[in-house]
Structure 1
Amino acid sequence: MKCKYLLLCSITLLLSALTATAMPPKKAPAREFYKLSVYHIKDKAQESRLDKFLSTAYLPALHRNGIKNVGVFKTLNIDTASDKKVYVFIPFKSLAEFLKMSKLLETDKEIGTKGADYLNAAYNDAPYVRIETILMEAFSQAPLMKKPSFDTPKSERIYELRSYESATEKLYRNKVAMFDKEEVEIFERIGSKPVFYGEVIAGSRMPNLIYLTTYRNMASRTEQWKKFSDDPRWKRVSELPEYQHNVSKNDTKFLVPADYSDF
């Protein structure tokens, strides 16, 4: 009887092992692509015209075409800022989707009607000064953006946009690896609500990466960064020889969401 029991157990274990081997490994999600448009504006009039176009024409068109989580942000205290900026963040499932949406202004009839004031602006009465466009691919360890949720009004929320530039391409890859192996986990664990991490593949400040975190308010932001700097894992990682000098410039912007932003 004992031999039969052992034989049955062996067969069961063998079948379990074969079943586990036959099951295909879980496929990681495809990495998203992100477009970040930065509108430089000079005054309230330009801001109002841009707001009208984005809220009544452009975002609705993106929504109709399946792009749901479009973020629109403005420089904190934009009225008094010397460099007034409006940021439009759009996530794409693929480069093909990015190229398709890039032609939206030319092909969408409703945009042409509702966005006429913006699209048909005169050469000496433009709705912005200049537009910067940055194209990114999501980090391998954070392949999808995360739409944050809050119980506080949009007017109180703070979004922190950081660009880390590196002196060389090799040092840049090193910083991306540092994020993938170490920093992404820390941000998630301490509750900083990261929205996206992007490897810049086309932009004016390369080589660089860009990421966006968000907070209930500025006090919460200060608290979360203290948690990060005090985190034992960060203290250990930041002193490792292999990660030294991989950031030559940290460009940090504090932003607030527009009323019509999706998040």
Structure 2
Amino acid sequence: MKRRKFLYSTMAAGAALPLTSFANQPTQETKEKELYEIRTYEMKFGASQQVLQSYLSDVLAPSLMRMGATTFKLYGELGNSAPTKIYALISYPNSEVYLKAQNLNNDGKYVTAAAKYNALPPEKTLYNRFSSSLLLAFDGMPKMMEPIDGASLFELRTYEGYSEDAVRRKIKMFNDGEIDIFLKTGLHPVFFGEMIVGPYRPCLTYMLNFKDMDEHDANWKRFSSNSDWESMKTKEEYANTVSNIRKIFLSPL
């Protein structure tokens, strides 16, 4: 009887524990995959892009790096986009660092360095809004790669899926061999990530880099005719994984 009471009380205690005690504990595999934040700043008409760039690179970036971020890169959109946009790519080693980095006012150096920027009056603000997307790196490429020497063209591609399962299968396709084919054919990746917060979900986003548009066109052609890719794309498990593709060409600032 005592043993039965012990079992019941143990089960009840376990049921009372929050779900985060078990189900939401991050695995070692998850901890090892980076998080990527992509910020898109939409410039206010007539505002100084250089002033915003200076704030981002000289004030915000050092603060985020002190808090544990591992990469901070700025890009401009090729072509005449209206309004002008600035893209920031930030990598974090894990979710703890990402959450810590949201509390910039805990960094005294940031507060001091950002004082002039934060004192701008409403009529002199530099951007209308900025949007953020958060991505979790793929198993097949858990860390960001450095761009190739001389890279001047960056391609940001988003693959939308008609369902969560479609995106899951496309991610599996990348992990099971498509990333390797990219590397063999000169599609130089910077990162691959599953969108966990942001627009167009369910989707995935990745970035490639090239020396110029000529290399871009030649290497995409090489990829398309690669025999391993020809074989892989016909597999039934990877059918109907992408319903729409969005791409943006960027250059480093």
Q: What CA distance in whole angstroms lies between the structure 1 residues aligned with 2:216 and 2:113?
A: 38
Alignment of 1:95-110 (within 5 A): 95-104=95-104, 106-110=105-109
The aligned length equals: 225
Q: Which residue of 2 aligns with 1:89?
A: 89
Residue 244 (structure 1) aligns with? 239
SS of corresponding position for 1:129: strand
**Alignment-derived partner of residue 140 in structure 1:** 139
Distance (Å, rounded) in 1 between the aligned partners of 2:122 and 2:203: 33
Indicate which of 163, 168, 187 corresponds to 2:158: 163
Q: RMSD over aligned Cα, in angstroms?
A: 1.9
Q: 1:42 to 1:227 in 2, by over 3 A?
A: farther
Matches of 1:54 and 1:41 in 2, distance apart?
Answer: 13
Match for 1:235: what amino acid? E
| Distance (Å, rounded) in 2 between the aligned partners of 1:43 and 1:190 | 41
Residue 183 of structure 1 deviates from its aligned partner by 1.1
Alignment correspondent of 1:227: 222
Match of 1:31 among 30, 33, 40: 33
Flag the 1:221–1:44 CA change in 2: closer, same or farther, 3 A: farther
**Counterpart of 2:114 in structure 1: which amino acid?**
G
The residue aligned with 1:8 is: none
Structure 1 unpaired stretches of 5+: 1-26, 259-263
Find out whether 1:58 has 2:57 as its counterpart: no
Identity of aligned residues (%): 30
Question: 3-state SS of the aligned residue for 1:70?
Answer: strand
One-letter code aligned to 1:126: T
The alpha-carbon deviation at position 134 of structure 1 amounts to 0.7
User: Could you give the per-residue CA deviations for residues 156-203 of structure 1, whole angstroms, max 9, x where no partner exists?
Assistant: x10000000111111111111111112111112223221100011111
The aligned counterpart of 2:110 is 111
Scaled by the length of structure 2, what TM-score is found?
A: 0.82
Cα deviation, 1:126-179, whole Å, max 9, x if unaligned, reads: 2111111111110011111111241x3x6xx10000000111111111111111
Q: Report the TM-score when normalising by structure 1.
A: 0.79
Aligned AA (2:154): Y
Which amino acid counterpart does residue 93 of structure 1 have in structure 2? P
